[in-house]
A = this chain, B = another copy of it.
């Protein structure tokens, strides 16, 4: 006997919810005893799930999100706002952490591609050709965050302009000897774009000397690289590319017995939820991680809904004057 049995019929016969039968058919987790019951009913009527019917793209209302880490303030803010925006639209985000590992990042995009998600948002660590290859193999939209991927939908911060502004402020206040703490140049947004903006701004506004040191996103290495420089000399100003570098700079300047801003000025990118806690209030350049998350979420939903989207969107920065920068006499 072979008949057209619906999932509803099976559910009723087995005395379980339709969702349980569906889970069973889709290889989801079902209790062993329930599984056995459903299997018996299916075998009894020789039910053959129509493979193609099942294979037909079904909206899952799930968006995969590839994140570089889960323990940075900025990433956390982006993820929370992204998730909130998706939830409001009836979607759920499924988050994978790459821990800044590019191989993991590529694998995670593939993993999500295997998972029947409706789209993927990649908060990218670096730019690499394999991103495109993988993204192009998928039939679901992929939106890139924080790094500019040519010919792909990208949402980025205005890193160059923000960097330029920092250089302008340093030069205008006559802080002529600048220590710039950057990150690895593999991170094009922060380690290249932001840095290039800083160097151009410093040059255009008369900063004599910029020493660039590379750190990472953690407190510990940042403290070490700043400490190495302060052990040799006292710059006019330290320019920090991230919030943790700011924290490390404040601590290291204090540990060397210097005062902010009397001895050393500080300008930092970021700050967000910690600026309030620091004395003196740091002068910061901030993007809007909440907006970045929101724009990412609405963009991928627009692509899914076949609406037109702009290929490159930029989140503007704001300059927030604190009390950590002092004008130097010439």
Contact = CB atoms under 8 A, between A and B. Distances in A.
Contacts of A97: 79-80, 83, 93, 95
A124 to B, nearest CB: 18
A20 B113 CA distance: 10
A49 interface: yes
Given A95-B95, A113-B29, A277-B278, A20 B80 contact: no
A116 B76 CA distance: 27
A225 interface: no
Given A71-B73, A87-B99, 9 more contacts: A24-B55, A27-B55, A27-B56, A29-B116, A48-B48, A49-B51, A70-B83, A71-B76, A80-B99
Nearest to A23: B114
Interface residues of A, number: 68
A152 interface: no
Most buried by B among A28, A51, A251, A273: A28
Interface in A173-232: 219
13 contacts: A22-B114, A25-B51, A28-B113, A29-B113, A31-B137, A32-B139, A48-B51, A70-B80, A71-B79, A92-B108, A94-B94, A95-B97, A219-B273
Q: Copies of this chain, how many?
A: 2
A267 to B, nearest CB: 18
Interface in A19-41: 19-20, 22-32, 34-35, 39
Given A95-B94, A95-B97, A219-B273, A139 B71 contact: no
Contacts of A52: 39
Contact of A55 (B25, B104, B140): B25
Interface in A253-312: 273-274, 276-279
A130 interface: no
Most buried by B among A24, A26, A84, A274: A26
Interface of A: 19-20, 22-32, 34-35, 39, 48-49, 51-52, 54-58, 62, 69-71, 73, 76-77, 79-80, 83-84, 87, 92-97, 99, 104, 108, 110-111, 113-117, 136-140, 219, 247, 250-251, 273-274, 276-279
A111 B26 CA distance: 12
Contacts of A247: 277
Nearest to A94: B94
A218 to B, nearest CB: 10
A123 to B, nearest CB: 12
Contacts of A99: 80, 83-84, 87
**A-B CB proximity, top 10 nearest:** A71-B76, A95-B95, A29-B138, A28-B114, A29-B113, A29-B140, A70-B79, A83-B97, A31-B139, A70-B76
